[in-house]
Structure 1
Amino acid sequence: MADRNWTDVLKSARRTALSHDGKRKIHYLFKDGKEMAEDYDLKTDELIVRKWRQKSPLGVQGQWQVEVGEPLTSSASSSDSDVIKESCSNPVFMRKDTKSSFQWRIRNLFYPKDVFSVSVEPSERCIIIKTSNKKYYKKFSVPDLDRSELPLDSSALSFTHANNTLIVSYKKPEEILSAEQELLRELKKLTLTLIPSEF
């Protein structure tokens, strides 16, 4: 099974585990040179951050790409008034999962819920968000389903809108839930290096 293969890939990676500020931080180094870093809440075991990076063909270390968690902020200082910055009123897209669902939040969407349409596009293996007023359009994949080669199911999809934020949820399939539980058991076996909170 494909999800079994992905679990095996994770198990075969070189892993380092740290404890810092109430989080279990896991760093994976894969055989192909890619890196993945994850943060889990030590109390709830919920995934807070997952990010990836890889070296360029010339061997230069790439930037971290966030898959789950708050988008990385620009390193430009706020005092650089001549630097062009994204407007703080622009929509902000981020993924923040729950134990039972993949979940995406898009902040700064100032339209009523009935303007939004959220659907699955099986042929493109993606979820599409659009508005009837043509003010917002977003197409995105679910990497977890891609890695496990699982189909997208429109009945697993739902959305709500509150406080100018659109929340899109996709119920995790049983295969994903069992793989996550197995992985968490593995991660808890790793020796955690404690990093003092002042670091």
Structure 2
Amino acid sequence: MSVDEGRMRWRREWERASAQNTFRVSRKWPLAGRLPWQRPGARLGGGKMAVTGWLESLRAAEKTALLQDGRRKVHYLFPDGKEMAEEYDEKTSELLVRKWRLKSALGALGQWQVEVGEPAPPGAGSLGPELIKESNANPIFMRKDTKMSFQWRIRNLPYPKDVYSVCVDQTERRIVVRTTNKKYYKKFSIPDLDRYQLPLDASLLSFAHANCTLIISYQKPKEVLLAESELQKELKNVKTAHSTDGDCKTQ
């Protein structure tokens, strides 16, 4: 069979299946139900369409804003019931806090999960024993972004810089941190890149070490910078309340 004949046969089979609506997902591929960027090893590049999709989700969410203590606090309520709360520096518009809250299957509100900012104290909001506290000597992981980079800080790591290895695991879409002395190991994702359907680029990753703190930076892709700029324009149109000594004024 020639190449042209093969193409014609493939096209006829495609048209027949389309007309009969006989497309099926193969049971041999257990990851078929996942979105493309969630599949291990998937090549991403949703680009502008993916960025626009997340921006539209933010625009469609119900938003309220409050200016308090030099911070612009924005609350998002999405159609599916998810909540997101963000805090920005009032002067620089730098993101300081982002956290999420989901509803349980029974509709009860869960606890806030911190994505950006200081992690919640262990046991906060729970009824567990108050005397059980995490040691101050344990490594503390947190995300603290800058205008141009996603950034993570891991405190209480006293080893010299040459002990650390920071790399990208493309299969799991994670950043991997390990030490040659096997004293520390951690994997974490960049949710922003998943939402924007952008690939992990090892060339954008760097790290430094100072004062017993490992600082990991990932330069924001231009698509993310553009989307963040568009979001700030959107937030300027959100009706904002001012809080001063307990009194709230709205502008």
Shorter chain as denominator, the TM-score bin is over 0.9
1:180 to 209, 212, 228: 228
Q: 2 CA distance for matches of 1:74 and 1:107?
A: 16
Q: Which amino acid aligns with 2:104?
A: S
Task: Report the CA distance shift for 1:56/1:162 in structure 2 as closer, same or farther (over 3 A).
Answer: same
1:183-198 map, 5 Å: 183-198=231-246
CA RMSD of aligned residues (A): 1.7
Alignment TM-score, normalising by the size of structure 2: 0.76
Task: Report the CA distance shift for 1:197/1:22 in structure 2 as closer, same or farther (over 3 A).
Answer: farther
Residue-by-residue CA offset, 1:24-51 (whole Å, 9 max, x unaligned):
0000000110000000000111000000
Residue-by-residue CA offset, 1:53-72 (whole Å, 9 max, x unaligned):
01110111100000000001
Q: 2 CA distance for matches of 1:105 and 1:198?
A: 34
Counterpart of 1:36 in 2: which secondary structure?
Answer: strand
Q: Which amino acid aligns with 2:53?
A: N
In 2, are the aligned partners of 1:109 and 1:165 still within 8 Å (CA)? yes
Task: Report the CA distance shift for 1:130/1:42 in structure 2 as closer, same or farther (over 3 A).
Answer: same
Query: 2:153: which partner in 1?
Result: 105
In 2, are the aligned partners of 1:20 and 1:197 still within 8 Å (CA)? no
Greater C-alpha radius of gyration: 2
Q: 2 CA distance for matches of 1:33 and 1:158?
A: 36
Q: 2 CA distance for matches of 1:5 and 1:107?
A: 35
| 1:114 aligns to 2:182 (yes or no) | no
- Offset, 1:74: 3.7
Equivalent pairs: percent with the same residue? 63
Counterpart of 2:74 in 1: which secondary structure?
Answer: strand
Counterpart of 1:195 in 2: which secondary structure?
Answer: strand
The aligned length equals: 197
Query: 1:149: which partner in 2?
Result: 197
Residue-by-residue CA offset, 1:77-110 (whole Å, 9 max, x unaligned):
9xx9972211011000000000000000000001
| 1:91 aligns to 2:121 (yes or no) | no
Q: Which amino acid aligns with 1:12?
A: A
Task: Report the CA distance shift for 1:160/1:59 in structure 2 as closer, same or farther (over 3 A).
Answer: same
Q: 2 CA distance for matches of 1:96 and 1:82?
A: 28
Task: Report the CA distance shift for 1:62/1:133 in structure 2 as closer, same or farther (over 3 A).
Answer: same
Task: Report the CA distance shift for 1:51/1:160 in structure 2 as closer, same or farther (over 3 A).
Answer: same
Alignment TM-score, normalising by the size of structure 1: 0.95
Q: 2 CA distance for matches of 1:184 and 1:82?
A: 40
> Runs of 5+ in structure 2 lacking a partner?
1-48
Q: Considering fraction of residues, name the structure with more strand.
A: 1
In 2, are the aligned partners of 1:21 and 1:197 still within 8 Å (CA)? no
Q: Which runs of 4+ in 1 moved over 6 A?
A: none
Task: Report the CA distance shift for 1:60/1:81 in structure 2 as closer, same or farther (over 3 A).
Answer: closer
> Runs of 5+ in structure 1 lacking a partner?
none
Task: Report the CA distance shift for 1:134/1:25 in structure 2 as closer, same or farther (over 3 A).
Answer: same
